[in-house]
Amino acid sequence: MSVLNRRQTLAVLASTAGAGLLPETVTAAVAKKPAFIPCLNMSTIRGQKLGFVKELETASKAGFRSVEIWMDTLQNFIKEGNTPAQARKIVGDLGITIENAIGFAPWIVDDEAARAKGLAQLKTEMELLAEVGCMRVATPSVGAQTPQSAKIDLQKAAERYRAILEISDQTKVIPHLELWGFSKNLNKLSEVMYVATESGHPSARLLLDVYHLYKGGSSLDTLKLVGKPGVEIFHINDYPASLPRETIVDADRIYPGDGVAPIAQILKTIKNPDRPIVLSLEVFNKTYYAQDALVVAKTGLDKINKVIAGI
């Protein structure tokens, strides 16, 4: 077909769109994009101690097409004599995507020697993730999160975040600055926003969480100030009414929709018309750990779908 004929065909298709005459393939191409992609963070079934492959298989059987893995689980898989290529093949054969990895490299600490070691650790982990096809990694304030930790100057934190973003220029695995509501550092939305913007790097991204926004006391009225490109993946969970933020802990998180978190408000705020947001279920509930992992995963997917319906 000539260029002219292709243009004429497109013009006809455009002119007949309002009359409902578009071919089925064209109609599918312009179909409404999903606003959110359900994802399973392996924290949710981590207590069952399934290992790398069985975790992926469980997520796939439950109906998830996206997952978040943990670095140590992947590293154990490699230590057992397997290769990154094998991991990538398993993921591909299951028809799922690894959206992100949960890592704990101490990249932000004040101690220069410890920080240098943390950067080297993170670079090695990024390289491994790239080999298995995971192009994001969570980077919270590891090593500076306890009540005894020194308060880190935010400008220095921004410089240190830029340093790991520059590693991503080589590996193509983007470190997402994670908010931890319980941490001594980077426990508020305002702090992670400052660090991300002051890094001055185009790849800067935030990793936020329903529970951590509550735990850290961040105002949801300012969540709208986060630019739409800044959030690609978001941790979804809920919390009960009986636990104030001062005493609630990670293990108290529950399925979305089972508590009192203003999830609908949050999702409407972060919703991006240009691309779907990955909603990753991250809980550490011992009650769930005592159940069959597949049941937990299926329940989690059902809860996510009910929450996002109509948003």
**Residue 34 DSSP label:** P
Separation of first and last alpha carbons in the chain: 42
Q: What is the pLDDT of residues 9-46, one digit of tens each?
A: 444 334 434 444 444 544 444 457 899 999 999 999 99
Q: Find all residues with CB under 8 Å of 296, minimum gap 6, and list them.
A: 44, 45, 48, 288
Confidence of residue 152 (pLDDT cuts 50, 70, 90): very high
Separation of alpha carbons 226 and 58, rounded Å: 34
Separation of alpha carbons 128 and 119, rounded Å: 14
CA angle 19, 23, 25 (to 5 degrees): 135
CB atoms within 10 A of CB 246: 7
Q: Find all residues with CB under 8 Å of 41, minimum gap 6, and list them.
A: 67, 68, 102, 235, 280, 281, 282
Q: What is the pLDDT of residues 244-297, one digit of tens each?
A: 999 999 999 999 999 999 999 999 999 999 999 999 999 999 999 999 999 999
Q: Which position has the higher pLDDT, 5 or 126?
A: 126
Percent of the chain with pLDDT over 90: 88
Q: What is the pLDDT of residues 161-200, one digit of tens each?
A: 999 999 999 999 999 999 999 999 999 999 999 999 999 9
Amino acid at 113: A
Confidence of residue 300 (pLDDT cuts 50, 70, 90): very high
Separation of alpha carbons 44 and 16, rounded Å: 48
In the predicted model, what is the mean pLDDT of residues 87-110? 98
Mean pLDDT of the residues in the chain: 92
Separation of alpha carbons 242 and 125, rounded Å: 39
Token pair 């969480």: residue: 209
pLDDT of residue 72: 98
In the predicted model, what is the mean pLDDT of residues 128-146? 98
CB atoms within 10 A of CB 254: 18
Separation of alpha carbons 80 and 62, rounded Å: 26
Q: Read off the tokens for 142.
A: 């590891």
Cα of 147 vs its chain's centroid, Å: 26
Q: Find all residues with CB under 8 Å of 216, minimum gap 6, and list them.
A: 179, 180, 181, 182, 183, 187, 188, 189, 245
